[in-house]
Amino acid sequence: MSKSYLPPPVIDHAAPLFSNYEVIFCDVWGVVHNGITAFQTACDALERFRAGGGTVILVSNAPVPKRRVADMLESRKVPPSAWDDIVSSGDIALAHIQERGFSRLHCIGPQDRDQAFFGTLKARSVAVAEAEAIVCTGLNDDRRETPDDYRGLLSDALAHKLPFVCANPDFVVDVGGTLLYCAGAIADVYAHMGGAVFWAGKPHLNAYETAHHKAEALRDRNVPRERILVIGDSLRTDMKGAENFGCDALFIASGIHRHETMDDISLSPKRLEELFVAGSPPALGAMAELMW
């Protein structure tokens, strides 16, 4: 078995690992908070890393501008002293829409929840037949709908050869213990139908490339990728994104994969081995929760 496919070793404290890096790219939901309240040990670890001279860029697949992510962090009691800057999938999607010059979009997603995104769009919201592209921040009603409910609409979009801008590549999100579908699940259906998808965010390079630019600007010097540590709870987005970008990763097991890796409140090495099978993106270590 290749070394890359061995399960990561379980560690209890991140401080010794952190000493090898000057920048952290940290996931938000599942690592820093659970959608309802902050994880105090994680916030403390990031604060200590920054106090020692490190830079923390939060990298979120939230389909909203970073100012809205900052507001959500504040509402969940995540201290601003735990991070330096934010990269959001919403901002990446908005930049892509502006670069492409789309003026007519068919929008999918809850207009009230994601008003910070939709209100920023300069393009008009139109029916599929009039649109130049689809933009999706999530399901219109993620408590009642599934991605299959959108197959008819996606078939119409495919017939018009519309590109699909996915403002959140996550397939699911854990909201206080309930898994809800995200925009990525609809985009995945469209991609399998043969549609063209622009994925704004992890695991795609645009997320960590954007974070890298921000980190170098903050530190006012080049930051080698071997001096960057990615922290996240998802193999598909965080660990794969780190692998794609060419930097090390730390896996947090109590997030989206907790049902696969945790025995009650303890991280199971055996379950971890079953998750990190051949072909999985590697991680240097695994923790039940981020702790200094």
Q: Could you give the CA distance from residue 58 to residue 202 in angstroms, rounded to a whole number?
A: 12
- Measure the CA dihedral 193/140/121/167, to 10°: -50
* φ, ψ dihedrals at 192, nearest 5°: -70, -25
Q: Cβ of 29: how many Cβ atoms within 10 Å?
A: 23
Cα distance between residue 203 and residue 192, in whole Å: 18
Nearest one of 92, 14, 1, 97 to 285, comparing CA atoms: 14
Would you write out the chain's pLDDT as a tens digit for each of its 292 residues?
344 467 899 999 999 999 999 999 999 999 999 888 999 999 999 999 999 999 999 999 999 999 999 999 999 999 999 999 999 999 999 999 999 999 999 999 999 999 999 999 999 999 999 999 999 999 999 999 999 999 999 999 999 999 999 999 999 887 767 788 999 999 999 999 999 999 999 999 999 999 999 999 999 999 999 999 999 999 999 999 999 999 999 999 988 898 888 887 789 889 999 999 988 999 999 999 999 9
Q: Is the pTM of this model over 0.75?
A: yes
- Give the chain's domains with CATH numbers: 1-22+229-235+245-253+265-292 (no CATH), 52-222 (3.40.50.1000)
Residue 225: both structure tokens together: 């990728």
Residue pair 13/19 in contact (Cβ under 8 Å)? The answer is: no
DSSP bridge partners of 33:
29, 38
CA distances 102 to 93, 97, 125, 285, Å, are: 12, 6, 11, 43
